Amino acid sequence: MKVITQIKALREYLNSIRKNDKSIGFVPTMGALHEGHLTLVRQSVKENLFTVCSIFVNPTQFNDPADLKKYPRTLQKDCEMLEEAGCDLVFAPDTSEVYPSEATISLTFGYLEEILEGKFRPGHFQGVGLVVSKLLHMVQPDRAYFGQKDYQQFLIIQTLVKDLNFPVKLIRVPIIREKDGLAMSSRNMRLSEEERAAAPVFFEALNAAAEVLKRDKNVNGARALAGRLIEEKNGVSLEYFEIAHPDTLKPLSNETVGDEVVLCVAGYVGNIRLIDNLIVNI
C-alpha cells in the first residue's frame, strides 16, 4: 500500500492508474478508523480496481477549536488497518498542503445546512463542502463512499456533486453498529466505561420511535417518546431528535408523514457529542 502526502505526487500516481483504465474508488476519512470506515473501504475494493483512502482532519469543519484539538490522530494504526482491508493508496496530507492559504471562497447549502447538525454546528457543512470539493478534485475518483451515519452530510455532498457537476458516483453505505446497537464512531473511543454503557440509548430511542411510527403513524408521539427516553438516561442530554423527509430533511408531522422517513438524533454522553439515524419504512 502506497502512502502519499503531496497533491502533486498523488496526481502523478493516479494518472498512471487511470492510463491503465483502472476504476478508482475513494473513501475520504478523518482517520481514527474503525470497522465502519473499513466497511466503506472493503466495498470500494470490491467495486473498483484501485482504492484510495484519505486521512485528513479538516480544520474548516470544526466549529469548536477544542473539538479539533481533541480529535484522535492514529495514522500508523489507521494505515495498518487500511492495508489489511485491501486499500491501495493512502493520501495523508498536512493542513498546509490542503490549505496553503486561508480559503476565500465558501460554499453554502441553504436550508440543508441550517437544520439539525447545521443548526448546532454553524459553518460545519461549509467546511465539509470545501474539503470534499478539494479532495474530489485531487483524487478524481469514479466512485466515492460515505457512511449513512452522517446522513445529512451525505445529502450535502449529493448537492455539491450535482450542483458542481463532479463526475463521480456517490455511494451511501449503511451504519455499522456495535453489538448493543451503538453506531460506530471515532468519538466512541473517548467515552468512559460508564458513558459507553449509556451511549446505546440513542439507538434504543430511534427504535422505540420507529415502532410507534409503524404502529400508528404518530409522528408527534414518536418524537416525544424518543426525547423522553434520552432525557431520562443518566449522564445523557439531547440536542435534537427529528423525524424528517429522507430527501429534504424537512420535519414531518402527523399530517405530512409519508411512507419513508428518516429519524435523526444528536446528543451528548458526558461531554462527547454523538449522532445516529434510522431510515424507516412505515
Q: Give the residues lining the site for ligand PAF (CB under 6 A).
A: 28-30, 58, 61, 128, 131-132, 150, 153
Query: Would residue 37 show up in a list of annotated catalytic residues for this protein?
Result: yes
Pick the closer one to ligand PAF by CB: 34 or 228: 34
Pick the closer one to ligand PAF by CB: 61 or 219: 61
CB 100, min distance to ligand PAF, A: 18
CB 261, min distance to ligand PAF, A: 23
Pick the closer one to ligand PAF by CB: 135 or 226: 135
Sheet holding 24-29, edge to edge: 2-4, 89-91, 50-55, 24-29, 143-147, 169-173
Cβ(181)–Cβ(204) under 8 Å? yes
CB 148, min distance to ligand PAF, A: 11
Q: Judging by beta carbons within 10 Å of its beta carbon (0-12, 13-18, 19+), is residue 141 exposed, middle or buried? A: buried
Pick the closer one to ligand PAF by CB: 32 or 226: 32
CB 157, min distance to ligand PAF, A: 7
Cα 168 to chain centroid distance, Å, stands at 18
Active site residues: 37
